[in-house]
Structure formats: C-alpha cells, structure tokens
Amino acid sequence: MAVHHPPLVSIPTPRPIHVSVSIPIPTLLSRPIRSLMDPQTPYRHYGATPSVPLPVYYITPAPPPPRRSKWRFIHSFLAAILLLWFAQHLFHRHHWHIHRHRHDLPDWEWEIHMDVNGLDHDAEGCAVWDNYHPSGHSFTLNTSTSTSRHTQSDKYTFSIPTSSERYHFVSWGPIDKSTFEVVPVESDKDQLVVEVNVVKDPRNVARVCALPSKGDEETYGVGIYSPRQEHPYPSDDWPTFNVKVFIPTTKKQQRLNAFETNLGQFEHIFPDLSNVNFSRLSVGAANVPMSFEDVVANTITATNANGKISGKLTGASRVFVKNANAPIEGDVILTGAGAIHLNNANSPITSTIHLKSGDFYPRPDYSISLSNANAAISATIASQPVGSGLFIKGNTAMGDVNVYLNPAYEGDFKLSNILGTPIVELQNKKDPSGEGRERHLSFQKRGSTTIGNVKWGDVERAPGTVDLTTVGGSLGLYL
C-alpha cells in the first residue's frame, strides 16, 4: 500500500501569487494526483497497399468507484495490469494472424482500397499500358486500345486550371514507394502543371489518367493506377512514380482552391508555400513520410500511417493530423477561432502551438485535442491572445504527458494519473496584458483527481479548461 505524503511547497523570492482568497502561494508547486481515464476510440487507418498492418485496438480501464477507500489503489493497479496484459495479448494475436494469413487475402481483407468514390475513372484519355503477361496471358482492364509500352523515359504532363474547385490526386492498386512533390514557380499562367514520371514498371501495368477522363468537364486532377492481378506479385515488380505539381506563385499572397491527395505510398514533400492560401488542404498517404515546410489553408487535414508527419501547418479554423506508428512533429498555427486535433498511436506527438486572433473581437475560443496510445504527448502553447478561451483535452496510455501553457491562459484544470505522480508547476510570469495584475491559483483534491483554477486579477474573464489523463506514464502541467 502506497503512503500518501502532503504536497511539497518551496518558497522562492519572486513576487507572491495568491491562492484562492488572497493567500500567498509559492512560485513552484507540486501535487500528487491520479485520474479517471476516458475511454479511447479504437484507432483505425487505411493504406493503399497490402503491407499496411491491421489496426490494433487499445482498451482503457473503467473509472474507479467514487468512494474513497484503501482499495482504490489496489483496484487501479489491477486495472492497469489487466490493460497491459490485454493490449499485449491483442498485439501478439494480430501479429501472429498477420503472418499466418499474409497470403490469404480474402479472409483478412488485405486488399485495402483508397477511397475513390465519386471520381470518373473511365480509361478514355489515359496513358495506358494494358498488355502484360504475368502468366503467359494478356490482360485488359476495360481500357482503350493503346498498347504503348513503358520505357525509362516515360513522362506525362497534365494541366489543371486554377479556376477548378479542387486539385485532386489519387492512386489505386499496388504501387511501390513513390514521391509526390509540390514545386512553386513564378508564373502568370492560371494553371497547375502536373508532371508524372514512371520510374519503373517492369510488368507494364501503370496507368496515368486525367480526372475526369472523359466528357466536357475541365480537368481537376490526376489519377495513378496499377490494376490488381488475379495472382499477386512481389512489390519489387510494382510500378514506381515521381510526381511533381508546379504551382504558380506571385510576390503577393495568393488564394487557390482545395488541394487534395488520396495517395498510397507516395512521400509528400511540400516546400515553403507561405504566400499561397488554399481554401482547403486534405492529404493522405501510408508507409512514407509527409513533410510540410510551411503550408497555409483555411482548413487542413493530414492523415498517414507508418510514416512521420512533420513541419509547419497554418490553418484559419481547423487543423487535423492523424498518424500511427510514426511521430507527429512540428508547429501548428491557428489564425482565428477554431480547433486543433492531433491523434497518434505507438509514436510521440511533439508540437508547438501558436494561437492568434487578428483583429477579431471578442477574443476567440480555441479547442485542442491531443490523443495517443503507448507513446508520449508534449505540447507547448507558445502564444495565446489575452482574454481568449482555451480548451485542451489530452490523453494517452503507457506514455508521458507534458503540456506547457502560455501565461495568458485563464481557467480550470483537471489532471488525472493512474500509477503515477503528476506535477503541477506554477511559475511567476509577467501579466501578459501589461496591467500589472496578480495571479491567483486555487486547487483541491477530490479522490483520485485534482482540480484547480488559475486567473489574473479578481475579475472573472474568458473561460478555459485543461483536462489531461494518462496511465502508466508521468504527467506534467506547466503554467
């Protein structure tokens, strides 16, 4: 049975901060706390090739009973042990079945498809290689009669008018690891130029199509395909592509429409596009990195699996990043009221977040969701408008959680940890409003949960909440 000690209080020399009703408190405060863990939604992801692993499901323990007793710690401990055993059991079970049924595709649905619904994929107007001989037989996938065969220099160019409502890029079928790169160019042409280079295609199965590929509609994208064969063949024989999208830029801020990718194993490379503002950016890949030097859009969605997501993403109202088995790293910026969602599994989330408001009045509210499993979460709120509302919810299992708030934060906090000793640290900071107000902190422990509140001055201002939960790791909140 653990022995609970009273909180440690150290009193440094800086100016006093007040606890609740004007009782001075030290600049550094540590309190042991435990928490109720919210159930976590099972993580799922979809890739473009059969090499994407089956999803692993993470089960969280049920909240302990509200009564206080000496059995609380024992129950929490047993729940955590059960969680570990169950998660390990699921992992090994899935791992064993993956190897056992790797060639039994129908049973385990290894033919994972990217979502290509709603697109016109008729082969008219495509660059098609439709004669190949996997077993001495030719095969045609309802294509045109073109019989052009692949050579090392095959390269195709497409033009997408900037007036198109979206610039869409999609892949389907077994394709080896490829690249997708955006290249800004100074141009007065109202078009995006897409260059597709077929790097290898030993079985002559590659297809590259303009979207839509028939009709009078103007081109809005490019489709890259490799038809699945009746008898699967090794990935070394899958085609490989290098895709470059040349975006016209000017010296002034430029507004473009929605930029979308639904590509499988295509590494995404976005350079500095800070002078381009997309109405929407939605990108998806699997098994490859995604890097964004500086990208701006009204809303941003980036999804991946087994590949690192890194860089700088600036959204006007929403930024959503989801990954698994590889890190999420970088800066996230909101230029107005909105939401940030960072979700991962089995790999860390490390982010610096900047919240801005422009000339909006009243000050905006921001919502931040941080979710992980079997890995750490570290988030720093580098900037926040004075008087704005900030609402953070973060949770993980078997990983550390560290959140560093900006001095402008005012509101409640709730920290929960099972089998750990969280740290709440409050340090003297200057009043971000410049009014010389004193900072007040109040807190209390309720069972396994510690709740508190921090504010500047005696006047109630914009609300805010921070709710952090972990099990099996450390937890720190730095005010």
Q: What is the SS3 string spanning 192-217?
A: EEEEEEEEECCCCCCEEEEECCCCCC
**Which residue is it, tokens 């928490």?**
35
Q: Which residue has the tokens 């079997």?
A: 374
Residue 435 falls within a domain, yes or no? Answer: yes
Render pLDDT for 265-309 as a digit per residue (tens, 0 to 9).
999 999 999 999 999 999 999 999 999 999 999 999 999 999 999
Does residue 41 lie within any of the structural domains?
yes
Are 414 and 464 within 8 A, CB to CB? no
Residues 330 and 355: beta-carbon distance below 8 Å: no
Q: Are residues 363 and 282 in the same domain?
A: no
Residue range(s) defining the domain that contains residue 354: 1-45+305-479
* Residue 21, C-beta contacts closer than 8 angstroms, at least 6 positions apart: none
Residues 466 and 357 in one domain: yes
Cβ atoms of 361 and 337 within 8 Å: the answer is no
Q: Are strands 411-418 and 449-456 parallel, antiparallel or unpaired?
A: antiparallel
Out of 243, 266, 291, a domain closes at 291
pLDDT surpassing 50 at residue 467: yes
CA–CA distance, 267 with 278 (Å, rounded to integer): 20
* Stronger pLDDT, 177 or 459, i.e. the higher one: 177
**38 close to 395: Cβ distance less than 8 angstroms:** yes
Give the torsion sign (CA, 257, 118, 284, 56): positive
Calculate what percentage of the chain has a pLDDT beyond 70.
Answer: 64
Q: Is the dihedral of CA 88, 90, 93, 95 positive or negative?
A: negative
Residue scoring higher pLDDT (348 or 118): 348
Q: Are residues 261 and 117 in the same domain?
A: yes
Q: What is the pLDDT of residue 359?
A: 65
Closest CA to 419 of 88, 84, 80, 86: 80
Please give the Cα distance from 194 to 154 (Å, whole number): 14
Of 261, 291, 321, the last residue of a domain is 291
Do 273 and 364 belong together in one domain?
A: no
* Residue 26, domain member (yes or no): yes
- DSSP assignment of 328-350, as one string? EEEEEEESSSEEEEEE-SSS-EE
Any idea which of 46-50, 329-333, 358-362 has the lowest mean pLDDT?
46-50
Residue 250 banded pLDDT, cuts 50, 70, 90: confident
Average pLDDT, stretch 93-114?
34
> Given 3-state DSSP classes, what are the helix, strand and coil percentages for the chain, each rounded to the nearest 5?
10, 45, 50
pLDDT per residue as tens digits for the range 440-451 = 888 887 766 788
Residues 428 and 312 in one domain: yes
Predicted local confidence at residue 173, as pLDDT: 86
How many Å apart are CA 169 and CA 4, to the nearest integer? 58
Judgement on whether residues 458 and 314 belong to the same structural domain of the protein: yes
Q: pLDDT at position 271, please?
A: 97
- Mean pLDDT throughout 213-218? 61
Residues 6 and 143 reside in one and the same domain: no
Give backbone dihedrals phi and psi of 107, rounded to 5 degrees, phi first.
Answer: -65, -40
Within a domain: 422: yes
User: What is residue 447's three-state secondary structure?
Assistant: coil
pLDDT at 230: 66
The better pLDDT of the pair 379, 46 is held by 379
| 4 against 190, higher pLDDT | 190
pTM of the model: 0.72
Alpha helices in 285-410 (DSSP H): none
Angle at 179 between CA 239 and CA 247, to 5 degrees: 125
State how far the Cα of 261 lies from the Cα of 171, in Å rounded to an integer: 9
Are 332 and 456 part of one and the same domain? yes
The Cα–Cα gap between 334 and 299 comes to: 10
On whether both 219 and 139 belong to a single domain, the answer is yes
Q: Are residues 388 and 359 in the same domain?
A: yes
Residue 67 lies in a domain: no
**Distance from first CA to last CA of the chain, Å, rounded?**
32
Confidence of residue 215 (pLDDT cuts 50, 70, 90): low
Q: How many CB atoms lie within 10 A of CB 385?
A: 19
pLDDT, mean of residues 333-355: 97
The last residue of one of the domains, among 237, 263, 291, is 291
pLDDT tens-place string over residues 131-189: 323 232 323 333 332 333 344 457 889 999 999 999 999 998 889 999 999 999 998 88
Domain membership flag for residue 59: no
Task: Decide if 475 is inside a domain.
Answer: yes
Top-confidence residue, 348 or 457: 348
The total domain count for the chain is 2
Sequence-ordered list of residues with C-beta below 8 angstroms from that of 185, at least 6 positions apart, any chain? 246, 247, 248, 249
Query: Tens digit of pLDDT for each residue in 394-439?
Result: 999 999 999 999 999 999 999 998 877 778 888 888 989 889 899 8
> 311 and 244, same structural domain?
no
| 101 located within any domain | no
How far is it, in rounded angstroms, from Cα 207 to Cα 387?
55
**Would you call 93 helix, strand, or coil by DSSP?**
helix
Centre a 10 Å sphere on the Cβ of residue 188 and count the other Cβ atoms it contains: 6
pLDDT, position 106: 30
Do 339 and 438 lie in one domain? The reply is: yes
Nearest-CA neighbor of 366 among 416, 396, 332, 395? 332
